[in-house]
Amino acid sequence: MSYELRAIATVRCERTELIDDGWDAFESRLELAADIPSEALAGLESFSHVDVICVADRARDVPPDPWARHPRGNTEWPLVGIFAQRNKDRPNRLLLSTTEIVRVEERRVIVRGLDAVDGTPVLDIKPVFHWSGPRTAVRAPSWSDELGDTYF
């Protein structure tokens, strides 16, 4: 089964290297594609956060990369499957980031905390509602907290 997707926007930012940490250090602009009208952003300024779905177009497909690995190659962390981590090298190269809206302009959304580099295709932008996040306590292993210490 396959699906055809199109980019509705492109990430524009100063970050060009595929480095995993420090994503809060800069703002990113989600610039709408030419065929997306500016009214698609109407009302978005009322929200504080959006979920941004991107294509990791410079990542490697899984497989041939392993279906299980040590996150970031750190052998002090456990060997875990691809679905137990958020690495960019994924079966469908999809990225999901919950980002803070800095401001909304006529044809772009300025966000902070987007873990995507300049030129990354954006597939969708969805507002974060109070009820759309986890409704119960989040549980995660300690290695993931260590990984997150410098991520943003």
Please give the backbone phi and psi of residue 101, each rounded to the nearest 5 degrees, phi first: -80, 125
Break the chain into its structural domains and give their ranges. Answer: 9-148
pTM across the whole model = 0.88
For the four alpha carbons of 14, 16, 17 and 22, in that order, the dihedral sign comes to positive
Distance CA 119, CA 56 (A): 10
Q: Confidence band (pLDDT; 50, 70, 90) for 108?
A: very high
Using alpha carbons only, how large is the chain's radius of gyration in Å? 16
pLDDT single digits (tens) 39-49: 999 999 999 99
Please give the C-alpha separations between residue 76 and each of 65, 73, 85, in angstroms, as whole numbers.
20, 9, 15
Q: What CATH number has the domain spanning 9-148?
A: 2.40.30.70
pLDDT digits (tens, 9 = 90+) for 18-40: 676 666 778 999 999 999 999 99
pLDDT value, residue 23: 65
Arithmetic mean of pLDDT over the chain: 90
